[in-house]
Structure 1
């Protein structure tokens, strides 16, 4: 009977995410930007400082931070002027230099990659002097063109948490677009987890506090895969299809795991299974998973967990500000 239920759940999952979109799955398949950022060749060829510049593809964020710490202010500013695309996306570079490099893309932009659908990270609050840092990791259908919603969630969280908390809206990975195989598999989440790990390493390299990760929908798959390799203090998932783990222990992290799911969230219709690469595993709000479950009865929809006035936003702000542990 148990095997039958698992098979049935898999069939339902496939029908929901693949079968009903025949021909659409391949059309919506996404590719993450690959290869070096524009300007990388000129950066690597620059010998004006009398030393090699760190290779963006191989240097660790801590190595990048050490490199910039050895430069004068004038040398740092010249690199921003000559190589803005590289400096603006270089994890481990000082925050104020990344802001300056990305200034054409907007205020407090911490990363900006215009290739493909585009990747962006934007800060709400005073990141350089923050006592607490949070990162919002969005789910599917988020890119530069649709980033405003994620940025607004960051603004709402920061306003609720207070001035000593900075919140980063991080659309720093290629998300699934539409309904199809990308949404049902972990391919894009695996690439996103690598990028999220490097991003949080970059925050650590410049001396910022361990972040709290707020992971929505498919973003919770990304956070589940990244959990063991980040230094996050808390990982909060909401509207999650699963974290590619059977329980909290399997995540391999010391971070406090929190989970929320509204009774009005359509994600409840997606079976929580992982078979033959389809599906994302156990429901993080289930009793056996081991996460601390947050109340979400007043959340009206899948995309409303950060809505002002909801119990979830209140709880998220307390977690972000270190008041709920």
Structure 2
């Protein structure tokens, strides 16, 4: 009966697309934030001792890193002060400069949504106030960490909902803090809300439009970490964030890619992701995402369930997680597995690296 109901839903969704009607209309359409960071025009007009600054729209993170490596500390700090919005968001800039630049940008911003992000001691590695706001924060010492994790969230996340008291493990900051607490001081975790997420269960959530832009931004962010000499991260992708990670997978130079509560990765199998990373998937028995049809038709839907044995991902145990946002809750088998993946201590958590977990 359940399979029959899911088939009917899939057919209905397909018919909606074919007919061009306004199904999936309960969410509001979003315009993705893309392109170089705010303040780029002023940055391009500046120079350092007659030398042009790298173009934020075209310079690779490696080129940005090489440019900053050739500057004196005084020259670097001068750019931070003159162009905090660019320096704080330009992948390849040394992270210490990004922290200071974003602290300056947040201090100058008067939007009350961002007041808590400006609190002393927070390590904000990206802050873009455009749209609903993009932000990324580091928990732990990223420069000295032996292991690094990146959390990529799903729908309804922005700079204003980045961390909140209600449903903490459904926010990127809450997920990141919980993962770091489970892994210890040798690990740093980045909560990366660096793309425009869907709002509600609308057309944006059912298509890959926002995920395509997010994938570009995530891949560039990861390249920036590598250009800064930081440890390659394990990437944890929740819900619609797994669509972002699926589209970015072939450009992410990481050892592990973990999806949880995923509606699909826009790929039919691990092989179709064209990644060398180990791919892991988790879905708890009470997650409502299991009722979302795993179809992809005329751009609607995200394809095969990554926890389907035929997809080929290693299955992460999630029997103790509850609901769509319970995977990082302390004491759960899923969090223990995530910590083992982040640190590479597979044996310590009873995880095998060959074949799917059952």
What range describes the TM-score normalised by the shorter chain of this pair?
Answer: over 0.9
**Cα 1:198–1:36 shift into 2, 3 Å:** closer
How high is the TM-score relative to the length of structure 1? 0.94
What is aligned with 1:73?
73
The corresponding residue for 2:198 is 176
Residue of structure 1 aligned with 2:123, choices 108, 111, 115: 108
The superposition leaves residues 211-257 of structure 1 with CA deviations (integer Å, 9 ceiling, x where unpaired) of: 10100000001000100011011000000000011111000001000
Note if contact 1:133-1:211 (Cα within 8 Å) is conserved in structure 2. Answer: yes
Distance 2:332 2:289 in 1: 19
**Contact 2:24 2:206 survives alignment (8 Å):** no
Aligned: 1:238 with 2:256: no
In 2, the alpha carbon distance for the partners of 1:266 and 1:142 equals 18
**Quick one: distance in 2 between partners of 1:34 and 1:137?**
17
Pair 97,249 (structure 1): closer, same or farther in 2 beyond 3 Å: same
Task: Describe the superposition over 1:94-151 as per-residue Cα deviations: whole angstroms up to 9, x where unpaired.
Answer: 0100001011343100000001100000000000111111100000000011100210
2:281 equivalent to 1:281: no
> Aligned in 2, Cα 1:293/1:13: closer, same or farther, shift over 3 Å?
farther
Question: Where does structure 2 lack aligned partners over 5 or more consecutive residues?
Answer: 107-116, 164-170, 347-352, 354-358
Measured on the aligned residues, the alpha-carbon RMSD in Å equals: 2.3
The number of equivalent residue pairs is 321
Identify the match of residue 303 of structure 1 among 316, 320, 325.
Answer: 325
Q: TM-score, with normalisation over the residues of structure 2? A: 0.85
Matched residues in 2 for 1:154 and 1:29: separation? 28
- Checking the alignment, whether the CA contact within 8 Å between 2:24 and 2:203 is kept in structure 1 is no
Moved over 4 A (4+): 4-7, 12-17, 21-24
Structure 1 stretch displaced more, 33-42 or 162-171: 33-42
Aligned equivalent of 2:239, options 214, 217, 229: 217
**Judging changes above 3 Å, is the alpha-carbon distance between structure 1 residues 249 and 23 closer, same or farther for their aligned structure 2 residues?**
closer
126 and 259 in structure 1: CA distance in 2 versus 1, 3 angstrom threshold: same
Unpaired segments ≥5 residues, structure 1: none
Q: How far is 1:16 from its partner?
A: 11
Corresponding residue number in structure 1 for 2:11: 11
Q: Using a 3 Å threshold, how does the CA distance of structure 1 residues 216 and 27 change in structure 2: closer, same or farther? A: closer
Contact 1:12–1:271 at 8 Å: present in 2 too? no
Matched with 1:25 is 25
Counterparts of 1:192 and 1:75 in 2: how far apart (Å)? Answer: 32
* Cα deviation code 1:127-186 (max 9, x no counterpart): 011111110000000001110021011011001011111100000000000121101111
- Alpha-carbon distance between aligned partners in 2 of 1:249 and 1:208, rounded to the nearest angstrom: 27
